[in-house]
Structure 1
Amino acid sequence: MTREPTPADGRHTADARPPATTPSPGTAAPRVAGLLLAAGGGRRLGGRPKALLPYRGRPLVEHAAGVLREGGCDPVYVVLGAARDRVRETACPAGCVLVDNPDWERGMGTSLRTGLAALPRGGADAALVLLVDQPGIGARAVARVRAAYRSPTTLAAAAYEGRRGHPVLLGAAHWEGAARSARQDAGARTYLRAHRTALTLVECADLADPSDIDTPEDLHRLR
């Protein structure tokens, strides 16, 4: 899942650390579902499914699902593809909803569409999308981006020294459009570019590393 650095084409919040959304009396707290894209087959890693790569004594998919939960996302949906039966048998993240993507070989865009389609309509106000192969993004970055939520029309993404990255927060009003525009390995990129004037960038370079695991040379990031 190679992702080229993306120049910032949205707008920053006034404060790089947006305050947590505090509901007014009588108003329910926002429900932000976590959406973990973990279907990649690791073609450039010699066919090693990324979800099963070992990280800190457990499969990477378990670590990433835990990051979403610790960052305040509930429920957490995990989209599986390559070796999905092995993931279910040996690395099933506890308390998560597992979703199979039969078209995972056609690119990350299919996983985003599959995941968004699985989310409960009316059961969540937003979805926070994270990729399984970025172990340097932890719960604090997830929580910071989650805190940018204001309404179902919120569109936000982490930024790293001004460059847009993950995680990405999609208010429920954006799910249909983001799914419709997802193609191959672009994921939500096309949709975010088309709606850049509505996009809030949340700077996270001070607490996260967005580097991904894509080639054998990248495996050192798991140690």
Structure 2
Amino acid sequence: MSDRIGILLLAAGRGTRFGQASKMLGTLDGKPLVRHAAESAVAAKLGPVAVVIGAHGAAIRQALAGLDLRFIDNPAYADGLSTSLRCGLDALPEPDGIIVMLGDMPRVRPSHLATLAAAFLAADPVPAAIVPVHRGVRGNPVLLNRALLAPDLASLTGDHGAGRLLAARTDVVEWEMDAAVTFDIDTKAALIAAAHA
């Protein structure tokens, strides 16, 4: 385990394209989407793992019962992704690097996370971020360098993550990975398709 790398799992959003039910609690392969992501985060055996919750928070806590996680309530979740990112980073003050995971990406495995961490720890000079790429498309999860990005991350607003910040920087390392890093589930139709893939 490396305490230099923490994992932040974002699971606070309403997932409006999914309908009234919580997207994070949609079932794939017998378990909720968010549990797939959380189990991978814990199994990677890096640093602390924190989960930001908001909408459907109590149900998501229940769905993740038994896992070694820190839960962070984001009362401003309706104001967008940036609020979850900011409050999650505030709750993980120890690590140098933070892997930001999305709860609707069930194909991300511990090996993806370990690869990002190893790339970050071995880099010289240390980059602002390690971003997974599949066939030229940037994906998630992304490993952020807290020291280099802290001022910019603190200024994020609305429904935006770190993507816009990273697009403007030259000290971002792209790391080729498989299709799991660009596969997410936003709709019930996508969930049904994934179950039959």
Q: Please indicate the TM-score interval, normalised by the length of the shorter structure.
A: 0.7 to 0.9
Matched residue count:
192
CA contact (8 A) 1:156 1:200 kept: yes
Q: 1:29 to 1:213 in 2, by over 3 A?
A: closer
Taking structure 1 as the reference length, the TM-score comes to: 0.77
CA contact (8 A) 1:104 1:111 kept: yes
Alignment pair present for 1:134 and 2:108: no
CA contact (8 A) 1:153 1:172 kept: no
Q: Give me the whole-angstrom Cα distance separating, in 2, the residues matched to 1:221 and 1:146.
A: 31
Post-superposition shift, 1:119?
0.8
| SS of equivalent residue, structure 1 residue 184 | coil
User: Which residue of structure 2 aligns with residue 20 of structure 1?
Assistant: none
Counterpart of 2:142, as a letter, is V
User: Which residue of structure 2 aligns with residue 10 of structure 1?
Assistant: none
Query: Which of 35, 39, 43 is equivalent to 1:62?
Result: 35
Counterpart of 2:158, as a letter, is Q
Alignment pair present for 1:42 and 2:6: no
Gaps of 5+ in 2: none
| SS of equivalent residue, structure 1 residue 124 | coil
Counterpart of 2:108, as a letter, is I
User: Which residue of structure 2 aligns with residue 84 of structure 1?
Assistant: 57
Post-superposition shift, 1:59?
1.9
Q: 1:185 to 1:48 in 2, by over 3 A?
A: same
User: Which residue of structure 2 aligns with residue 193 of structure 1?
Assistant: 167
Gaps of 5+ in 1: 1-27
Alignment pair present for 1:211 and 2:186: no
Counterpart of 1:167, as a letter, is P
Q: 1:182 to 1:73 in 2, by over 3 A?
A: farther
Counterpart of 1:65, as a letter, is A
Q: Give me the whole-angstrom Cα distance separating, in 2, the residues matched to 1:166 and 1:209.
A: 5
User: Which residue of structure 1 aligns with residue 141 of structure 2?
Assistant: 167
CA contact (8 A) 2:34 2:106 kept: no
Give me the identity figure in percent.
36
User: Which residue of structure 1 aligns with residue 46 of structure 2?
Assistant: 73
Post-superposition shift, 1:94?
1.2
| SS of equivalent residue, structure 2 residue 180 | coil
Q: Give me the whole-angstrom Cα distance separating, in 1, the residues matched to 2:40 and 2:83.
A: 23
| SS of equivalent residue, structure 2 residue 114 | helix
Displaced runs of 4+ in structure 1, greater than 4 A?
none
Q: Deviations over 1:23-70 (max 9, x none)?
A: xxxxx9562101101112121111222221222222222221111122
Post-superposition shift, 1:157?
0.8
CA contact (8 A) 1:38 1:50 kept: no
User: Which residue of structure 1 aligns with residue 83 of structure 2?
Assistant: 110
Q: Give me the whole-angstrom Cα distance separating, in 2, the residues matched to 1:177 and 1:160.
A: 29
CA contact (8 A) 1:78 1:98 kept: yes
Q: Give me the whole-angstrom Cα distance separating, in 2, the residues matched to 1:55 and 1:178.
A: 36
CA contact (8 A) 2:50 2:88 kept: yes
